[in-house]
Each structure stands twice: as structure tokens, then as C-alpha cells.
């Protein structure tokens, strides 16, 4: 039987009990991840379904729970900016500038994965979509577990969920632990002129060294193009998508959904997202 565990700050009037309960619920989620099971978590965008990024069987469970194939690998949520260099290689300076400006938050970056990593997220062709969310529940769990493969907590093709109850209604027994952090999705409603679309903005940097030094937005989201241009200038390509790249999922993602890249366009998508990952 699945369980929803309250991680909201106002779950009880006894502050010490709230702290104890909160820690116990994070521990339950951490243990589930350690057993290779799935956990639903809130993010700053939507709710996400999470698995140990380094457990191939758990990642497959995530894909199965959502009804996705290996051609739609999940993005990875990380607990801190330094983790970027642990998981990626050849990260260009403009990406570092974007991360400094928008992490933790609603920006996903697609970069080249460290070739030494022993993981299997699906058909990524050596790339990975990374995001550091700003939701405290997600960050506290990530601090305990390390990187998590995360996709929006809904069945593929259905709307993303913004509360734990809707996530449980969608995913039911396929998830072991649901962490309830309240309603998500309002974080960016007044930021950068966005109106709460829900997904993270996805920027692809995998071809930076070979395409003349450009970044591409492959999914518009809560961080506007104007805000990104304000950080990186004309390094951001004018085209809204990479020519020839397959359409990325419009589905919200608590982590973006990664689209498997070809040899020419090595772009993978995340999320999310709408992203809890999204």
C-alpha cells in the first residue's frame, strides 16, 4: 500500500514534532531509493517521480511507471552546483554562468556526461540533462541520496501533477513513498514575466565545441529567453530549437524528459518537465 508522508512546515502545531516527522519522512524516502524503489517528491515546478540514477533497474521502473521507453530517458536532479562537474565533461563557461544565475531553480542544462560514469538512463548517446531544483524537500532528499533520475509524476501524455494526492492517483502502487510538500507550481508566476507554465527551461550545450560556440533552447519554460540572453548574450542561438532535432516532449516534468540525440544533434531533453525535475 502506498503512503503519503507530510513534509509541509504547517503539518503540526508542535514545531519539534514537525522536525522529527520531517526527518523521519526523508529517511523513509532515502531508504526506498536505496532499495531501488520509486519515490515521488515535490520540486519548485511540479511533482516528480524519482529513482536512483545509478541503479539501472530502478530507472527502468521509473520509465515503466510512466509508460515511457528508453528513447525518453529521464533527466537527473542534483543536490549542488559542484555535482555538475562530477557528472559532466567539457562544460562551457556560458553554462557555468547560467548555472550560477539560475541554480537552484528552473533551468535544465544538457551537457556531455562523464564517460567513466556507470549508469544507464536510457538512450542518451553520452549526454545528460541536469538540474538543481530549489524546493527544500527535494534538496534535503538529494543531499541524502545523491543524484536522482526524475521525471514528472504523471503517466506519459497526461498533465503534470502539482500535489502529492494527484501524483498518487496517477501512479498508485508503482511508487513506494510519496513526500507531500504542498502544492507546487507557483514559484515562477511573477518571475521573468512567466505565468506558471510549470516546466523548466532546457538549454542544450552538447554541441558547443563544434557548432561555433552556441547554446540552444530546446524547451521554453519558467526561465525566459530574455533572462538567459541577459546572462550569456549572443552565445544563445536565435533559433528556438536545434534544426533537425526531434520534437521534445511537451509533457510537464518534475524532471524534463530527455530526448535521445543523434550523432549530428547530440541533444537530449529532460524534463521534467514541467519539471520537478522539469
In order, the DSSP letters of 5-49 are EE--TTS-S-HHHHHHHHHHHHHHHHHHHHTT--EEEE-SSSEEE
Kindly state the greatest CA–CA separation across the chain.
Answer: 58
Per-residue pLDDT band for 168 (boundaries 50, 70, 90) equals very high
pTM metric for this prediction: 0.84
Does the pLDDT at position 18 exceed 90? Answer: no
- In this predicted structure, what is the pLDDT of residue 52? 97
- In this predicted structure, what is the pLDDT of residue 108? 96
Residues near 144 by beta carbon (within 8 Å), at least 6 away in sequence: 26, 27, 30
Rounded mean pLDDT of the chain? Answer: 83
C-alpha distances out from residue 113 to 74, 102, 152, Å: 14, 21, 22
d(CA 136, CA 23): 12
Does the pLDDT at position 197 exceed 60? Answer: no
| Averaged pLDDT for residues 147-169 | 93
Does the pLDDT at position 85 exceed 80? Answer: yes
Task: Go through the domains of the chain in sequence order and give each one's CATH number.
Answer: 3-235 (3.90.870.10)
Q: What is the DSSP secondary structure assignment for residue 159, as one 8-state letter?
A: P
Task: Give the tens place of pLDDT for each residue, 94-107.
Answer: 999 999 999 999 99
d(CA 188, CA 276): 13
Task: Give the tens place of pLDDT for each residue, 208-265.
Answer: 999 999 999 999 888 999 999 999 999 999 854 444 333 333 333 433 333 334 333 4
User: 93-99 contacts: CB < 8 A, separation 24 or more?
Assistant: 94/205, 94/208, 94/215, 94/231, 94/232, 94/235, 95/203, 95/205, 95/208, 95/215, 97/231, 97/232, 98/203, 98/228, 98/231, 98/232, 99/132
Higher pLDDT, 278 or 267: 278
Taking each continuous run of H as one helix and of E as one strand, the counts in the chain are 7, 11
Amino acid at each position: 500500500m502506498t503512503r503519503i508522508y507530510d513534509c509541509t512546515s504547517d503539518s503540526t502545531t508542535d514545531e519539534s514534532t514537525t522536525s522529527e516527522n520531517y526527518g523521519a519522512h526523508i529517511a523513509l524516502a532515502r531508504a526506498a531509493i536505496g532499495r531501488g524503489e520509486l519515490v515521488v517528491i515535490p520540486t519548485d515546478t511540479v511533482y516528480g517521480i524519482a529513482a536512483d540514477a545509478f541503479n539501472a533497474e530502478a530507472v527502468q521502473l521509473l520509465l515503466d511507471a510512466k509508460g515511457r521507453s528508453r528513447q525518453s530517458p529521464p533527466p537527473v536532479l542534483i543536490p549542488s552546483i559542484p555535482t555538475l562537474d562530477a557528472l559532466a565533461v567539457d562544460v562551457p563557461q556560458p553554462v557555468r554562468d547560467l548555472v550560477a544565475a539560475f541554480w537552484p531553480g528552473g533551468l535544465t542544462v544538457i551537457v556531455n556526461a562523464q564517460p567513466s560514469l556507470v549508469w544507464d538512463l536510457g538512450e542518451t548517446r553520452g549526454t545528460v540533462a541536469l538540474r538543481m531544483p530549489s524546493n527544500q524537500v527535494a534538496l534535503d532528499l538529494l543531499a541524502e541520496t545523491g543524484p536522482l533520475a526524475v521525471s514528472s509524476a504523471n503517466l506519459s501524455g497526461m498533465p503534470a501533477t502539482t500535489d502529492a494526492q494527484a501524483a498518487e492517483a496517477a501512479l498508485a502502487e508503482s511508487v513506494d513513498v510519496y513526500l507531500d510538500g504542498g502544492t507546487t507550481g507557483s514559484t515562477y508566476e511573477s518571475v521573468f514575466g512567466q505565468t506558471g507554465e510549470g516546466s523548466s527551461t532546457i538549454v542544450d550545450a552538447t554541441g558547443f565545441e563544434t557548432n561555433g560556440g552556441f547554446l540552444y533552447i530546446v524547451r521554453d519554460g519558467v526561465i525566459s529567453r530574455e533572462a538567459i540572453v541577459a546572462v550569456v548574450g549572443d552565445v544563445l542561438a536565435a533559433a528556438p530549437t536545434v534544426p533537425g532535432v526531434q520534437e521534445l516532449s511537451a509533457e510537464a516534468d518534475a524532471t524534463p524528459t530527455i530526448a535521445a540525440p543523434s550523432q549530428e544533434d547530440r541533444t537530449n531533453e529532460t524534463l521534467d518537465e514541467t519539471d520537478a525535475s522539469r
